[in-house]
Amino acid sequence: MSDALKVMLENIEQLSTKEKALAAHCLLTAMNSKSDDNVDADWLKLAESRSADLESGKVKGLSWEEIKSEILS
């Protein structure tokens, strides 16, 4: 993991909701330099599937602290 990503993850909670949204938008925009016609449909299908798994109890969600601890270790 790059030092830049580590710094961002360590400090993300200090950002306002608007700043987090802007950061997410910038990251997604940087990834989407070449568009794929099926990307939106694929993401929607995946989001619906994961949402159903959470709602049914098939999987357990993790807190941001758990995720950050795992990433930074």
CA distance 72 to 3: 11
Give DSSP secondary structure letters for the chain.
--HHHHHHHHHGGGS-HHHHHHHHHHHHHHHTSS--TTHHHHHHHHHHHHHHHHHHTSS----HHHHHHHHH-
What pLDDT is attached to residue 41? Answer: 84
CA distance 33 to 10: 27
pLDDT, tens only, 11-56: 999 998 899 999 898 888 888 666 566 777 888 899 999 999 999 9
What pLDDT is attached to residue 58? Answer: 95
pLDDT at 70 exceeding the cut of 70: yes
